[in-house]
């Protein structure tokens, strides 16, 4: 974990709490595994702009996101970076290169104030060898990630930019949205429009055009990063025609 003067340590005894143990991969931990973690885990508070690990660096362990938002980027030969995915609270980063014995394929950057727990490779190996159920959970997560990647590729060649953007808005809603009393949805976009475009593999101008179209049709209103989805069913219908009212 990259450290600098802005990182703030978090008391170790507060790291392995109910939230950690409820994580989709960590719920298989036994009491003996928890004792190993309590001795090995390093939790720190990070500010936006800090980097947890760099593309091409050796994988030294895994990172559990307790709070905040982390973006994973990949650079092209010209040095331009593309946002590949976002990690939210209870997500774990670094498990794929750890399991594969590879270097990191992307750079993990802190996008919002975050608390992240690092578990070194030696402790992870000890836990997985003692408790194969934990390793199986991570393998299942890796398999799901592969399936999700295949689904995104399928969407990229079969769905319009508008449909893919509508789907992405609803994915964001799961993590940073609020259902209003009238059935509408309010949410804050967690990334810039340039990053939105990169996530969908399109130009920024295409995102601006889709936003204008959704506003003109009365489906949603956009004010800076704030989005108010007025017609949720119509938004779903953008990528699932059978759901259109």
Instruction: For residue 71, count other CB atoms closer than 10 A to its CB.
Output: 22
Give residue-wise pLDDT tens across range 105-121.
Answer: 999 999 999 999 999 99
10 pLDDT more than 70:
no
pLDDT at 34: 86
User: How far apart are the C-alpha atoms of 227 and 222, rounded to whole Å?
Assistant: 5
Q: Which of 109, 130, 149 is the endpoint of a domain?
A: 149
- The CA distance from 157 to 229, in Å, is 26
Q: Which domain holds residue 172?
A: 159-243
pLDDT per position as a tens digit, 104-162? 999 999 999 999 999 999 999 999 999 999 999 999 988 888 888 788 777 777 789 99
Residue 12 has pLDDT above 70, yes or no: no
184 and 237 inside one domain: yes
Examine the pLDDT at 19 and tell me if it is beyond 80.
Answer: no
Judge whether 2 lies within some domain: no
> Structure pTM?
0.83
pLDDT of residue 244: 58
Domain-ending residue, one of 88, 117, 149 = 149
Each residue of 169-227: pLDDT tens digit?
999 999 889 999 999 999 999 999 999 998 888 999 999 999 999 999 999 999 999 99
107: its two tokens:
């750079």
Contact 237, 201 (CB under 8 A): no
Which of 96, 114, 149 is at the close of a domain? Answer: 149
Convert the pLDDT of each residue in 25-43 to its tens digit.
888 888 888 888 888 999 9
């Amino acid at each position: 974990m990259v450290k600098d003067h802005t990182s703030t340590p978090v008391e170790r005894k507060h790291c392995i709490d109910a939230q950690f143990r409820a994580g989709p991969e960590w719920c298989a931990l036994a009491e003996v595994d928890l004792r190993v973690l309590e001795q090995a885990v390093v939790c720190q508070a990070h500010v936006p702009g800090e980097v947890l690990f760099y593309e091409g660096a050796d994988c030294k362990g895994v990172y559990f996101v307790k709070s905040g938002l982390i973006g994973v980027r990949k650079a092209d030969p010209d040095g331009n970076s593309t946002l590949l995915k976002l990690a939210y609270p209870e997500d774990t980063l670094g498990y794929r290169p750890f399991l594969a014995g590879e270097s990191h394929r992307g750079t993990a950057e802190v996008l919002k104030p975050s608390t992240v727990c690092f578990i070194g490779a030696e402790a992870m190996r000890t836990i997985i060898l003692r408790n194969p159920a934990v390793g199986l959970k991570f393998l299942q997560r890796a398999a799901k990630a592969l399936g999700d990647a295949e689904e995104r590729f399928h969407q990229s060649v079969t769905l319009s930019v508008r449909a893919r953007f509508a789907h992405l808005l609803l994915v964001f809603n799961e993590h940073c949205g609020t259902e209003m009393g009238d059935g509408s949805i309010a949410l804050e976009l967690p990334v810039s429009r340039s990053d939105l475009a990169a996530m969908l593999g399109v130009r920024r101008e295409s995102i601006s055009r889709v936003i204008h179209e959704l506003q003109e049709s009365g489906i949603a209103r956009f004010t800076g990063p704030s989005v108010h989805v007025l017609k949720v069913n119509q938004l779903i219908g953008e990528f699932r025609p059978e759901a259109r009212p």
